Structure 1
Amino acid sequence: MRRPALLLGSALVALALAACQSKPTPQQSEQKAESAVCANLAAVGEALEAVGELGPSSTVGDAEQARDNLAKAVAKLQDSEAALEKLRVQELQKQVMAFNKAAKQVTAKKSTTLEEAANELQGKLEPVLAARQAAVADVNCDAAGGN
Protein backbone atom coordinates (compact mmCIF):
# COMPACT_ATOMS: atom_id res chain seq x y z
CA MET A 1 0.00 0.00 0.00
CA ARG A 2 2.89 2.33 0.70
CA ARG A 3 4.37 1.90 -2.78
CA PRO A 4 1.38 3.28 -4.76
CA ALA A 5 1.27 6.32 -2.47
CA LEU A 6 4.99 6.91 -3.06
CA LEU A 7 4.54 6.62 -6.83
CA LEU A 8 1.56 8.96 -6.75
CA GLY A 9 3.52 11.46 -4.67
CA SER A 10 6.46 11.28 -7.06
CA ALA A 11 4.19 11.81 -10.03
CA LEU A 12 2.58 14.84 -8.40
CA VAL A 13 5.98 16.37 -7.62
CA ALA A 14 7.12 15.82 -11.22
CA LEU A 15 3.91 17.35 -12.52
CA ALA A 16 4.30 20.37 -10.24
CA LEU A 17 7.90 20.89 -11.37
CA ALA A 18 6.88 20.70 -15.02
CA ALA A 19 4.12 23.25 -14.44
CA CYS A 20 6.56 25.66 -12.78
CA GLN A 21 8.93 25.76 -15.76
CA SER A 22 8.42 28.93 -17.72
CA LYS A 23 7.85 28.99 -21.45
CA PRO A 24 10.85 30.40 -23.34
CA THR A 25 10.46 33.91 -24.70
CA PRO A 26 10.42 34.41 -28.48
CA GLN A 27 13.95 35.83 -28.21
CA GLN A 28 15.18 32.76 -26.31
CA SER A 29 13.56 30.46 -28.85
CA GLU A 30 15.17 32.39 -31.70
CA GLN A 31 18.59 32.31 -30.02
CA LYS A 32 18.28 28.55 -29.58
CA ALA A 33 17.28 28.15 -33.24
CA GLU A 34 20.17 30.38 -34.35
CA SER A 35 22.57 28.29 -32.28
CA ALA A 36 21.27 25.17 -34.02
CA VAL A 37 21.85 26.77 -37.43
CA CYS A 38 25.39 27.73 -36.41
CA ALA A 39 26.15 24.26 -35.08
CA ASN A 40 24.81 22.72 -38.28
CA LEU A 41 26.84 25.13 -40.41
CA ALA A 42 29.92 23.96 -38.53
CA ALA A 43 28.92 20.32 -39.10
CA VAL A 44 28.60 20.96 -42.85
CA GLY A 45 32.05 22.53 -42.80
CA GLU A 46 33.49 19.48 -41.04
CA ALA A 47 31.78 17.15 -43.50
CA LEU A 48 33.18 19.15 -46.42
CA GLU A 49 36.66 18.94 -44.92
CA ALA A 50 36.29 15.16 -44.65
CA VAL A 51 35.32 15.01 -48.34
CA GLY A 52 38.35 17.17 -49.18
CA GLU A 53 40.65 14.83 -47.27
CA LEU A 54 39.76 11.88 -49.49
CA GLY A 55 42.79 10.82 -51.47
CA PRO A 56 44.13 8.10 -53.73
CA SER A 57 44.41 5.65 -50.85
CA SER A 58 40.81 6.28 -49.70
CA THR A 59 38.36 3.50 -50.35
CA VAL A 60 35.00 3.66 -52.06
CA GLY A 61 33.53 3.00 -48.63
CA ASP A 62 35.33 6.07 -47.27
CA ALA A 63 33.94 8.17 -50.10
CA GLU A 64 30.40 6.87 -49.57
CA GLN A 65 30.64 7.56 -45.85
CA ALA A 66 31.90 11.09 -46.47
CA ARG A 67 29.11 11.70 -48.97
CA ASP A 68 26.47 10.35 -46.56
CA ASN A 69 27.81 12.48 -43.70
CA LEU A 70 27.71 15.57 -45.90
CA ALA A 71 24.15 14.82 -47.03
CA LYS A 72 23.00 14.36 -43.42
CA ALA A 73 24.73 17.55 -42.31
CA VAL A 74 23.13 19.56 -45.12
CA ALA A 75 19.70 18.09 -44.32
CA LYS A 76 20.07 19.07 -40.65
CA LEU A 77 21.16 22.56 -41.69
CA GLN A 78 18.12 22.94 -43.93
CA ASP A 79 15.82 21.77 -41.12
CA SER A 80 17.34 24.18 -38.60
CA GLU A 81 17.16 27.08 -41.07
CA ALA A 82 13.49 26.30 -41.74
CA ALA A 83 12.76 26.21 -38.00
CA LEU A 84 14.46 29.56 -37.49
CA GLU A 85 12.59 31.13 -40.40
CA LYS A 86 9.30 29.79 -39.03
CA LEU A 87 9.98 31.34 -35.61
CA ARG A 88 10.85 34.67 -37.17
CA VAL A 89 7.76 34.70 -39.39
CA GLN A 90 5.53 33.76 -36.45
CA GLU A 91 6.82 36.74 -34.48
CA LEU A 92 6.21 39.03 -37.46
CA GLN A 93 2.68 37.70 -37.85
CA LYS A 94 2.03 38.24 -34.14
CA GLN A 95 3.20 41.85 -34.36
CA VAL A 96 1.14 42.50 -37.51
CA MET A 97 -1.96 41.13 -35.78
CA ALA A 98 -1.35 43.41 -32.79
CA PHE A 99 -0.95 46.40 -35.12
CA ASN A 100 -4.14 45.53 -36.99
CA LYS A 101 -6.01 45.34 -33.70
CA ALA A 102 -4.71 48.77 -32.70
CA ALA A 103 -5.59 50.16 -36.14
CA LYS A 104 -9.16 48.87 -35.81
CA GLN A 105 -9.48 50.55 -32.43
CA VAL A 106 -8.20 53.86 -33.80
CA THR A 107 -10.39 53.76 -36.91
CA ALA A 108 -13.46 52.87 -34.86
CA LYS A 109 -13.52 56.49 -33.64
CA LYS A 110 -14.85 58.20 -36.76
CA SER A 111 -14.15 61.68 -35.38
CA THR A 112 -10.40 61.00 -35.16
CA THR A 113 -8.37 63.01 -37.62
CA LEU A 114 -5.79 61.35 -39.82
CA GLU A 115 -3.02 63.12 -37.95
CA GLU A 116 -4.33 61.88 -34.59
CA ALA A 117 -4.67 58.35 -35.96
CA ALA A 118 -1.15 58.45 -37.37
CA ASN A 119 0.24 59.68 -34.05
CA GLU A 120 -1.56 56.92 -32.16
CA LEU A 121 -0.39 54.21 -34.54
CA GLN A 122 3.22 55.35 -34.94
CA GLY A 123 4.33 53.70 -31.70
CA LYS A 124 2.40 50.55 -32.58
CA LEU A 125 4.29 50.24 -35.86
CA GLU A 126 7.76 50.02 -34.30
CA PRO A 127 7.40 46.37 -33.10
CA VAL A 128 6.17 45.37 -36.58
CA LEU A 129 9.19 46.98 -38.23
CA ALA A 130 11.55 45.37 -35.71
CA ALA A 131 9.98 41.94 -36.27
CA ARG A 132 10.28 42.39 -40.04
CA GLN A 133 13.93 43.34 -39.71
CA ALA A 134 14.54 40.29 -37.49
CA ALA A 135 12.73 38.05 -39.99
CA VAL A 136 15.17 38.97 -42.76
CA ALA A 137 18.29 39.21 -40.60
CA ASP A 138 21.32 37.05 -41.18
CA VAL A 139 22.34 34.44 -38.67
CA ASN A 140 25.31 35.64 -36.61
CA CYS A 141 27.68 32.80 -35.82
CA ASP A 142 30.97 33.35 -34.02
CA ALA A 143 34.23 31.95 -35.40
CA ALA A 144 33.81 28.74 -33.38
CA GLY A 145 30.57 27.90 -35.20
CA GLY A 146 28.30 28.38 -32.21
CA ASN A 147 26.28 31.32 -31.09
Structure 2
Amino acid sequence: MRISEGVEWAAHCLLLLDWMGEDRPVPTARLAAGFELPPPYLNKQLQALVKAGLATSTPGARGGFRLARPLEKITMMEVVAAIEGPEDAFQCTEIRRRGAGADTPESALRRPCAVSTAMRKAELAWRRELAAQTLADVRAAAERSAPRVGESIRAWYARN
Protein backbone atom coordinates (compact mmCIF):
# COMPACT_ATOMS: atom_id res chain seq x y z
CA MET A 1 0.00 0.00 0.00
CA ARG A 2 1.29 3.43 -0.86
CA ILE A 3 0.00 6.55 0.83
CA SER A 4 0.44 9.86 -0.96
CA GLU A 5 2.70 12.59 0.31
CA GLY A 6 -0.45 14.66 0.78
CA VAL A 7 -1.20 12.68 3.96
CA GLU A 8 2.20 13.61 5.38
CA TRP A 9 1.73 17.24 4.41
CA ALA A 10 -1.77 17.37 5.89
CA ALA A 11 -0.74 15.83 9.21
CA HIS A 12 2.24 18.17 9.51
CA CYS A 13 0.08 21.20 8.72
CA LEU A 14 -2.44 20.28 11.41
CA LEU A 15 0.39 19.88 13.92
CA LEU A 16 1.88 23.17 12.74
CA LEU A 17 -1.42 25.00 13.20
CA ASP A 18 -1.50 23.73 16.77
CA TRP A 19 2.12 24.65 17.52
CA MET A 20 1.75 28.09 15.98
CA GLY A 21 -1.16 28.76 18.32
CA GLU A 22 -2.28 31.77 16.32
CA ASP A 23 -5.66 33.36 16.89
CA ARG A 24 -6.01 34.33 13.25
CA PRO A 25 -6.17 32.07 10.17
CA VAL A 26 -2.81 31.03 8.71
CA PRO A 27 -2.49 31.54 4.93
CA THR A 28 -1.51 28.62 2.69
CA ALA A 29 1.65 30.42 1.54
CA ARG A 30 2.79 30.81 5.13
CA LEU A 31 2.17 27.15 5.95
CA ALA A 32 3.89 26.08 2.73
CA ALA A 33 6.95 28.23 3.45
CA GLY A 34 7.68 26.31 6.63
CA PHE A 35 8.07 23.08 4.70
CA GLU A 36 9.23 24.51 1.34
CA LEU A 37 6.15 23.05 -0.33
CA PRO A 38 4.32 24.39 -3.39
CA PRO A 39 1.38 26.45 -2.06
CA PRO A 40 -1.12 25.44 -4.80
CA TYR A 41 -0.64 21.73 -4.14
CA LEU A 42 -0.63 22.18 -0.37
CA ASN A 43 -3.85 24.18 -0.70
CA LYS A 44 -5.53 21.10 -2.22
CA GLN A 45 -4.61 19.10 0.87
CA LEU A 46 -5.81 21.89 3.14
CA GLN A 47 -9.14 22.11 1.30
CA ALA A 48 -9.55 18.35 1.76
CA LEU A 49 -8.99 18.84 5.50
CA VAL A 50 -11.70 21.51 5.51
CA LYS A 51 -14.10 19.25 3.65
CA ALA A 52 -13.44 16.50 6.21
CA GLY A 53 -14.09 18.88 9.13
CA LEU A 54 -10.51 18.81 10.41
CA ALA A 55 -9.69 22.42 9.55
CA THR A 56 -11.63 25.58 8.82
CA SER A 57 -10.98 28.05 6.05
CA THR A 58 -11.47 31.79 6.02
CA PRO A 59 -11.44 33.38 2.55
CA GLY A 60 -9.96 36.74 1.66
CA ALA A 61 -6.77 38.72 2.12
CA ARG A 62 -6.68 37.97 5.85
CA GLY A 63 -7.87 34.43 5.32
CA GLY A 64 -6.27 31.07 5.80
CA PHE A 65 -6.67 27.94 7.86
CA ARG A 66 -7.24 26.97 11.48
CA LEU A 67 -7.85 23.74 13.31
CA ALA A 68 -11.53 22.83 13.36
CA ARG A 69 -11.10 20.99 16.65
CA PRO A 70 -8.34 20.15 19.13
CA LEU A 71 -5.70 17.59 18.12
CA GLU A 72 -7.06 15.28 20.84
CA LYS A 73 -10.19 14.93 18.71
CA ILE A 74 -8.48 14.29 15.34
CA THR A 75 -7.29 10.77 14.54
CA MET A 76 -4.62 9.77 12.08
CA MET A 77 -7.28 7.72 10.27
CA GLU A 78 -9.31 10.88 9.73
CA VAL A 79 -6.29 12.57 8.17
CA VAL A 80 -5.66 9.59 5.88
CA ALA A 81 -9.32 9.39 4.88
CA ALA A 82 -9.49 13.15 4.25
CA ILE A 83 -6.64 12.96 1.74
CA GLU A 84 -6.92 9.44 0.32
CA GLY A 85 -10.67 9.00 0.55
CA PRO A 86 -12.64 6.42 2.52
CA GLU A 87 -12.38 3.60 -0.04
CA ASP A 88 -10.72 0.32 0.83
CA ALA A 89 -7.06 0.15 -0.19
CA PHE A 90 -7.47 -3.39 -1.54
CA GLN A 91 -9.95 -3.94 -4.34
CA CYS A 92 -10.70 -7.60 -5.10
CA THR A 93 -11.33 -8.14 -8.82
CA GLU A 94 -12.35 -11.81 -8.46
CA ILE A 95 -9.68 -13.15 -10.80
CA ARG A 96 -10.35 -16.61 -9.40
CA ARG A 97 -13.37 -16.67 -11.75
CA ARG A 98 -11.15 -16.40 -14.84
CA GLY A 99 -8.92 -18.78 -16.72
CA ALA A 100 -8.48 -22.00 -14.75
CA GLY A 101 -11.30 -20.94 -12.41
CA ALA A 102 -13.81 -20.07 -15.12
CA ASP A 103 -15.53 -23.46 -14.81
CA THR A 104 -15.65 -23.45 -11.00
CA PRO A 105 -19.24 -23.93 -9.76
CA GLU A 106 -20.84 -20.75 -8.40
CA SER A 107 -21.46 -22.50 -5.08
CA ALA A 108 -17.69 -22.82 -4.58
CA LEU A 109 -17.22 -19.07 -5.07
CA ARG A 110 -19.85 -17.74 -2.68
CA ARG A 111 -17.36 -17.04 0.08
CA PRO A 112 -14.76 -14.30 -0.32
CA CYS A 113 -11.47 -15.64 -1.58
CA ALA A 114 -8.67 -16.25 0.91
CA VAL A 115 -6.53 -13.46 -0.60
CA SER A 116 -9.35 -10.93 -0.22
CA THR A 117 -10.04 -12.07 3.33
CA ALA A 118 -6.37 -11.77 4.33
CA MET A 119 -6.04 -8.32 2.77
CA ARG A 120 -9.21 -7.00 4.37
CA LYS A 121 -8.14 -8.35 7.76
CA ALA A 122 -4.77 -6.56 7.46
CA GLU A 123 -6.37 -3.33 6.29
CA LEU A 124 -8.87 -3.40 9.16
CA ALA A 125 -6.01 -3.75 11.66
CA TRP A 126 -4.18 -0.84 9.98
CA ARG A 127 -7.31 1.35 10.07
CA ARG A 128 -7.97 0.50 13.72
CA GLU A 129 -4.41 1.42 14.67
CA LEU A 130 -4.64 4.76 12.86
CA ALA A 131 -8.05 5.43 14.41
CA ALA A 132 -6.59 4.77 17.87
CA GLN A 133 -3.90 7.45 17.43
CA THR A 134 -4.84 11.08 17.73
CA LEU A 135 -2.75 13.94 16.44
CA ALA A 136 -2.26 14.83 20.12
CA ASP A 137 -0.50 11.46 20.49
CA VAL A 138 1.67 12.29 17.47
CA ARG A 139 2.39 15.78 18.86
CA ALA A 140 3.42 14.24 22.21
CA ALA A 141 5.77 11.80 20.47
CA ALA A 142 7.30 14.64 18.43
CA GLU A 143 7.78 16.73 21.57
CA ARG A 144 9.42 13.80 23.39
CA SER A 145 11.97 13.41 20.61
CA ALA A 146 12.38 17.18 20.09
CA PRO A 147 11.29 18.86 23.34
CA ARG A 148 11.42 22.41 21.98
CA VAL A 149 9.78 21.77 18.61
CA GLY A 150 6.74 23.97 19.29
CA GLU A 151 8.92 26.81 20.48
CA SER A 152 11.19 26.41 17.43
CA ILE A 153 8.20 26.48 15.08
CA ARG A 154 6.81 29.65 16.66
CA ALA A 155 10.24 31.32 16.52
CA TRP A 156 10.78 30.40 12.86
CA TYR A 157 7.38 31.79 11.85
CA ALA A 158 7.95 34.95 13.90
CA ARG A 159 11.15 35.61 11.87
CA ASN A 160 9.66 34.74 8.47
Q: TM-score, normalised by structure 1?
A: 0.42
Q: Structure 1 or 2: larger helix share?
A: 1
Q: Structure 1 or 2: larger strand share?
A: 2
Where relative contact order (Cα < 8 A, 6+ residues apart) is larger, the structure is 1
Q: TM-score, normalised by structure 2?
A: 0.39
